[in-house]
């Protein structure tokens, strides 16, 4: 609870930090364009990402062998390799090394691993001065802060703030002029490098074939830090190891492009074994062989390497592109994530490097929109891994009492759940303003508080089935409609539209009354057992009707039902049934587009309203459906105007949108602004979760524009005919 309070306090501070908001806002606008441009001459991006992913998968599968080879080759060339189990191990080794060699002054070029284990304060306590030479790292160190971004550590600070820190450190008035400040830093830091006894660097990769380490930098500080002092210490995590020299090319094709939208950084440096250094002895320069120490850091990495799911984090090359597109990170920056690794990937790395307790605090900040997966060069399923961590956390510790009670006793008991929803539709009346009140089943979890969301309908879809079902004598197909809570109880009219569209194609539409929540809110919180219970009930209800196809008009429900096969695969009785259900489930838009095409109806027509389409995160990035809804809209005669960032999250994301309303609202506001700019009369989407959020936003901020599901538009077109 205490941790949650601190996190909320920090979030609210960051939301008020205009420098940060402004910098991140501008950056998130510029990044996707710059990245795309950087990849223009790189060939097939997908092939490059696949190559990186595969190379890393092959490496982690034999990580010990690769590490042994790396150590042997580096040792053969004269480096000393030390394997550190954790931060303490590393620090002791390093301080001992400093003592033996009379090292008092250290210069560092960027090492996230050193930050991870809080190296600097430890060195300081041992009487050793360590100076960061990367400009951003130095600024952050002077400010007494941590980096807020893996690649741009000081992105949260303005030139005025930097000038203040510089003036204080250099004891002279430094004007807030960027070029001047950079020169001042150059002068000050060069002096430090020239006087240092030891240079510490990180590494972007370590090559087993010849024991080389690689550094990808822009400022040139890494070249100085690894060249000038007589001792060079490399701190490298196991995940940075790669088998061959050629594998470095696989990383270099994507790392600079993804990290900073550069084709290549100013300097790529590879060092294999100690190289000569110039040392002043009795006032004379003499050439001596350097001492090269390589510290291979574990600190939770090997545990991840041997974990069937989490070995995936070895595919991370620390480009931070996942942060650059994250709707939450780009609002509040990296500091709220507590440790140095920010964003979704940061929450996962933190879980392994700092423990589950740390993960728990920040995991909710991942809204599962999967935008990161579209850019990650290693194609890491970041949201999937976070969900897996939640599941493990729940297995180990259980859910908070209230949530557990809600899931185990209410959501998984359809009759009780639905009667409560009906009660809610009555109970909400005194508080209802217009059509807006609260979302479900979140409201049952007692989590809705900060705003109004759509009302629970007076008559749910399940009570309207008799009225809307058309008798069809020789149906082309028997379709079971899985409504999901939101369509059933909040948007029953959309459910009616689905019936209309399908019946119009001579399909018999069935509504299995025994269906309940798809289970997504439950599994999202990590409660696997309750989800299984819910899945079994839904499968039973659906299969009793023996349909040809099962249709859901919500991507999350579609995904959940498809996931039943995996969820129940070890259950001998339910496994095969789940498989059948999973094979029958189809998402509404893609199914209808296919059927319309068969009937020659998927052609563009005119005369409809001007609309804009919002891509639901899960519809586009999990199910891969983005063309079909657009084709359907145009087939229905709509004039489709694309909005900016159509596929950027609306900020709902289930529980997140309610619990972190303060974060959800600015994300929604951007979306509403983009809708406004199109001049469309109707905002359309094909996800009931997004509809909840967008309707709430439009109602307050853009009342002239209506929110509709693709099914609604299609149904209206049928009525017109």
Q: Which residues bind other proteins (CB under 8 A)?
A: 23, 26-27, 41-42, 77, 133-136, 139, 152-155, 157-159, 162, 178-179, 181-183, 185-186, 189-190, 193-194, 209-210, 212, 218-221, 223-224, 226-227, 244-246, 248-249, 252-253, 260, 262-273, 275-278, 284-287
The CA–CA distances, whole Å, from 104 to 96, 101, 224, 445 equal 12, 9, 18, 57
Task: Identify which of residues 203 and 510 has a Cβ nearer to other proteins in the complex.
Answer: 203
User: In the complex, what is the shortest distance from the CB of residue 293 to other proteins, in angstroms, rounded to a whole number?
Assistant: 16
**Residue (285 or 401) nearer to other proteins, CB:** 285
464-469, long-range: CB < 8 A, 24+ apart: 464/492, 464/495, 464/496, 465/511, 465/513, 468/496, 468/499, 468/500, 469/499, 469/503, 469/509, 469/511
- Give me the residues paired with residue 480 across strands: 510, 550
Grouping H, G, I as helix, E, B as strand and the rest as coil, residue 703 is coil
State in angstroms the smallest separation of the CB of 104 from other proteins: 21
- Tokens for 234, please give them: 């490399």
Choice between 219 and 628, CB closer to other proteins: 219
Q: Which is nearer to other proteins, 82 or 267 (CB)?
A: 267
- The DSSP code sequence of 542-583 is HHHT--SEEEESSHHHHHHHHHHHHHTTT-TTHHHHHHHHHH
Of 251 and 592, the one with the shorter C-beta distance to other proteins is 251
Residue (30 or 125) nearer to other proteins, CB: 30
Smallest distance from other proteins to CB 238, Å: 22
CB of 110 to other proteins, least distance (A): 11
Identity of the residue, 27 or 82, whose beta carbon is nearer to other proteins in the bound complex: 27
Q: Which CB sits closer to other proteins, 245 or 641? A: 245
Q: At what angle do helices 343-354 and 382-397 cross, to 10 degrees?
A: 40
User: Least CB distance from residue 57 to other proteins, whole Å?
Assistant: 20
The H or E element that residue 282 is part of is: none
**What DSSP element (H or E) covers 365?**
none
Q: How far is the CB of 262 from other proteins (least distance, A)?
A: 8
Minimum CB separation of residue 194 from other proteins in Å reads: 7
Please say which residue, 83 or 186, places its beta carbon nearer to other proteins.
Answer: 186
- Nearest approach in angstroms of CB 46 to other proteins is 16
Q: Read out DSSP for 500-557?
A: HHHHTTTEEEE--TT----SHHHHHTT-HHHHHHHHHHHHHHHHHT--SEEEESSHHH
Bridge partners of 285, per DSSP, are 280
Instruction: Please tell me the distance from the alpha carbon of residue 688 to that of residue 466, in angstroms, as a whole number.
Output: 23
Residues 6 or more apart whose CB falls under 8 angstroms from that of 70 comprise 81, 206, 207, 208, 211, 241, 296
Go through the chain and tell me how many residues it has.
Answer: 721
Give, for 212, the enclosing helix (H) or strand (E): strand 212-217
Give yes or no for a contact between 486 and 691, defined as CB atoms under 8 angstroms apart: yes
The nearest distance, CB 185 to other proteins, in angstroms, is 7
Alpha helices in 229-327 (DSSP H): 245-260, 301-305, 321-324
If the CB atoms of residues 26 and 569 are measured against other proteins, the closer one turns out to be: 26
Nearby residues of 582 by Cβ (< 8 Å), 6 or more positions away: 561, 562, 563, 564, 565
In the complex, the smallest distance separating the C-beta of residue 209 from other proteins, rounded to whole angstroms, is: 8
Tell me the closest approach of the beta carbon of residue 379 to other proteins, in angstroms: 20
Least CB distance to other proteins at residue 278 (A): 4
Q: Which is nearer to other proteins, 153 or 454 (by Cβ)?
A: 153
Contacts of 539 (CB under 8 A, 6+ apart): 564, 574, 577, 578, 581
- Strands lying side by side in the sheet with 477-482: 507-510, 477-482, 549-552, 585-587
Choose between 284 and 721: whose C-beta lies nearer to other proteins. 284
Q: β-strands 198-201, 129-132: how paired?
A: unpaired
């Amino acid at each position: 609870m205490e941790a949650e309070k601190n996190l909320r306090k920090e979030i609210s501070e960051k939301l008020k930090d205009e420098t940060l908001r402004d910098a991140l806002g501008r950056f998130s606008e510029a990044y996707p364009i710059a990245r795309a441009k950087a990849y223009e001459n790189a060939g097939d991006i997908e092939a490059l990402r696949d190559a990186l992913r595969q190379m890393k998968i092959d490496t982690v599968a034999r990580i010990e062998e690769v590490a042994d080879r790396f150590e042997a080759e580096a040792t053969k060339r004269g480096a000393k390799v030390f394997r550190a189990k954790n931060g303490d191990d590393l620090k002791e080794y390093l301080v001992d090394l400093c003592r033996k060699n009379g090292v008092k002054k250290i210069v560092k070029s960027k090492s996230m691993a050193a930050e991870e284990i809080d190296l600097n304060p430890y060195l300081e306590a041992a009487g050793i001065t360590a100076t960061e030479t990367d400009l951003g790292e130095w600024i952050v160190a002077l400010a007494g802060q941590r980096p807020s971004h893996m690649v741009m550590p000081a992105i949260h600070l303005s030139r005025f703030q930097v000038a203040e820190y510089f003036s204080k450190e250099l004891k002279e008035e430094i004007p807030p002029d960027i070029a001047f400040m950079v020169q001042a830093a150059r002068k000050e830091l060069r002096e430090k490098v020239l006087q240092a006894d030891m240079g510490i660097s990180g590494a972007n990769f370590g090559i087993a074939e010849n024991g080389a380490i690689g550094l990808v930098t822009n400022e040139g500080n890494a070249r100085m830090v690894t060249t000038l002092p007589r001792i060079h210490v490399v701190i490298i995590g196991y995940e940075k190891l790669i088998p061959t020299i050629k594998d470095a090319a696989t990383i270099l094709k994507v790392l600079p492009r993804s990290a900073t939208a550069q084709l290549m950084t100013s300097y790529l440096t590879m060092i294999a074994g100690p190289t000569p250094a110039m040392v002043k002895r009795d006032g004379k320069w003499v050439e001596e062989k350097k001492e090269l120490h390589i510290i291979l850091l574990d600190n939770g990495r090997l545990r991840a390497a041997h974990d069937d799911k989490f070995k995936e984090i070895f595919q991370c090359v620390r480009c931070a592109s996942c942060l650059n597109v994250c709707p939450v990170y780009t609002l509040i920056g990296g500091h709220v994530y507590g440790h140095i690794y920010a964003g979704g990937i940061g929450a996962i790395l933190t879980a392994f490097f700092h423990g589950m307790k740390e993960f728990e605090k920040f995991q909710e900040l991942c809204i599962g929109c999967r935008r990161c997966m579209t850019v990650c060069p290693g194609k890491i399923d970041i949201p999937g891994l976070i969900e897996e961590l939640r599941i493990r956390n729940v297995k180990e510790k259980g859910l908070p009492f209230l949530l557990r009670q809600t899931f185990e006793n209410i959501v998984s008991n359809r009759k009780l759940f639905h009667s409560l929803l009906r009660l809610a539709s009555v109970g909400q009346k005194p508080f209802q303003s217009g059509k807006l009140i609260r979302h479900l089943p979140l409201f049952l979890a007692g989590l809705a508080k900060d705003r109004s969301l759509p009302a629970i309908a007076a008559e749910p879809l399940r009570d309207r089935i008799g009225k809307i079902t058309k008798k069809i004598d020789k149906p082309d197909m028997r379709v079971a409609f899985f409504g999901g809570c939101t369509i059933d109880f909040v948007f029953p009219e959309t459910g009616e539209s689905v019936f209309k569209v399908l019946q119009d194609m001579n399909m018999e539409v069935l509504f299995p009354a025994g269906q309940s929540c798809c289970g997504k809110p439950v599994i999202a919180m990590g409660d696997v057992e309750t989800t299984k219970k819910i899945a079994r009930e839904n499968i039973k209800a659906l299969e009793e009707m023996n349909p040809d196809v099962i249709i859901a008009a919500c991507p999350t429900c579609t995904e959940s039902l498809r996931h039943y096969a995996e969820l129940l695969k070890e259950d001998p009785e339910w496994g095969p049934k789940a498989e059948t259900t999973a094979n029958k489930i189809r998402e509404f838009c893609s199914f209808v587009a296919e059927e319309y095409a068969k009937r020659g109806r998927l052609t563009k027509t005119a005369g409809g309203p001007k609309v804009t389409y919002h891509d639901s995160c899960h519809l586009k990035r999990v199910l891969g459906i983005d063309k079909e809804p657009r084709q359907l809209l145009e087939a229905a005669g709509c004039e489709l105007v694309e909005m900016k960032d159509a596929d950027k999250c609306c900020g709902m994301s289930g529980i997140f949108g309610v619990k972190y309303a303060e974060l959800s609202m600015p994300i929604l506001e951007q979306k509403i602004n983009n809708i406004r700019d199109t001049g469309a009369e109707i905002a359309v989407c094909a996800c009931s979760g997004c509809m909840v959020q967008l309707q709430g936003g439009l109602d307050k901020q853009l009342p002239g524009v209506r929110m509709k599901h693709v099914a609604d538009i299609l149904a209206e077109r049928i009525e017109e005919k």
